[in-house]
Structure 1
Amino acid sequence: MTVTTYKWTIERYHRAIEAGIFEDQPIELWRGELIVMPPEREPYAYYNTEAADYLRTLLGERAKIRDAKPITLLNNSEPVPDVAIVKPLGEVYLEHHPYPEDIFWIIEFSKATLSKDLGEKKDIYAQAGIAEYWVVNLKTAQLQVFRDLKNGQYTTKLILTTSTIAPLAFPDIFVQVQRFVGFPSK
């Protein structure tokens, strides 16, 4: 007996969502496969919210901060990154989720899904052309930054626990790493 898996396209996935098939289950589409997402625990939700608010303050009107909203990639993937920093295109997003060319960078906060975020999800983002990808490792209080795409792979990896970093898209903005890996009192 041959086992055949069903590969989802973005169009079929959207039709299934519209039909209400997945309404009780948080899922993402990765390379045509449905991925069930684990429930959020308190530290994850806290850091995600605080970081998104911090970036809104830093970037103002220069970017739109979308937390826990889908993005649409050409490799039959529609992940839901924890934070996507995207072009402020307004009502364009009524027609479609941000495409790779609309995305400045993506951030994932990770503990239970760390191996997937540093493996398959990183590869999906790199192959889609996302210029910069940050993973906040909640286990070790580290910010891992992936950038410098070449042939669908990130060629630079930075591991930070302190100091500041300037995102590629906004070299004049300095993000305090501590605000992501261990929020100091304000």
Structure 2
Amino acid sequence: MTIHVTPGSPLPRRFTAGDLRLMLAAGILREDERVELLDGELVEMAAKGFAQDVVKNALVRRLVPLLPEAAYLGIESTLQLGPGLLLEPDLLLAPMSARSATPEGFCTIPGPEILLVIEVAASSLAYDRGRKAALYARHGVREYWVIDAQEREAWVHRGPAEGLYRDPAELSRDSVLRPEAEELAMIMAPLAELG
């Protein structure tokens, strides 16, 4: 890969999913490295802490027995939503039939067909509630939850329009999370019981 630098102010180099695939093939990046590609910017993700694992595992235990057979549950799976956008949500729910592979070999699901994305965060709360929420909204993801792994509070984002979610709701520790999608009506997750 040749990178040309022009005189004056340097411009950031934007990467694509294809570039990332080449970096993986060349050994520049390892498959197990925790990175996301956000609008062409390669971002290193923080390591998951104990509280995040506890909450994520509690969610998985609640979700798995309730999901219909035709549902796809992605757990820290790479999701390509555009040429320069690779995300690794903690949990993702969609119809199995909505999944396909991109030419670069990553999973893709059209944003409006994704039923729910969940991020469990500790140190990245502002990032997940801000930049990532805007990315999911821009791609039409219907519902996006951010759960504070330490405090067991949550922010529920619904109704994406013009790259934003309408009035995200902040839920306290004594609240119960319930997805809006009809296909997930059987799911409920009391925040206080996640861990």
- If the length of structure 1 is used for normalisation, what is the TM-score? 0.86
CA gap of 1:184–1:79, structure 2 versus 1, over 3 A, is closer
- If the length of structure 2 is used for normalisation, what is the TM-score? 0.82
Letter in 2 for 1:85: L
Q: Which runs of 5+ in 2 are unaligned?
A: 1-7
Q: Distance in 2 between matches of 1:158 and 1:91?
A: 29
CA gap of 1:50–1:139, structure 2 versus 1, over 3 A, is closer
CA gap of 1:93–1:101, structure 2 versus 1, over 3 A, is farther
Q: Secondary structure at the match of 1:5?
A: coil
Letter in 1 for 2:37: L
Select 1:18's aligned residue among 25, 28, 32: 25
Q: Distance in 2 between matches of 1:60 and 1:73?
A: 24
Residues 86, 98 of structure 1: 8 Å contact kept: no
Residues 66, 83 of structure 1: 8 Å contact kept: yes
Select 1:169's aligned residue among 181, 184, 187: 181
Matched, 1:48 2:59: no
The Cα of 1:107 is off from its aligned counterpart by 0.1
Residues 30, 76 of structure 1: 8 Å contact kept: yes
Q: What's the counterpart of residue 158 of structure 2?
A: 147
Residues 164, 174 of structure 1: 8 Å contact kept: no
Letter in 1 for 2:21: H
Kindly provide the CA deviation profile for residues 13-63 of structure 1, in whole angstroms up to 9, marking residues without a partner as x: 222223222116311111100110111111111211221231112223141
Q: Distance in 1 between matches of 2:125 and 2:28?
A: 28
RMSD value, Cα: 2.4
The Cα of 1:163 is off from its aligned counterpart by 4.4
Q: Distance in 2 between matches of 1:117 and 1:2?
A: 30
Q: Distance in 2 between matches of 1:146 and 1:13?
A: 29
The Cα of 1:172 is off from its aligned counterpart by 6.2
Aligned residues: 183
Q: Distance in 2 between matches of 1:101 and 1:38?
A: 28
Q: Secondary structure at the match of 2:68?
A: helix
Q: What's the counterpart of residue 98 of structure 1?
A: 108
Matched, 1:131 2:142: yes
CA gap of 1:93–1:60, structure 2 versus 1, over 3 A, is farther
Instruction: Percent identity, please.
Output: 22
Q: Distance in 1 between matches of 2:157 and 2:194?
A: 24
Residues 163, 176 of structure 1: 8 Å contact kept: no
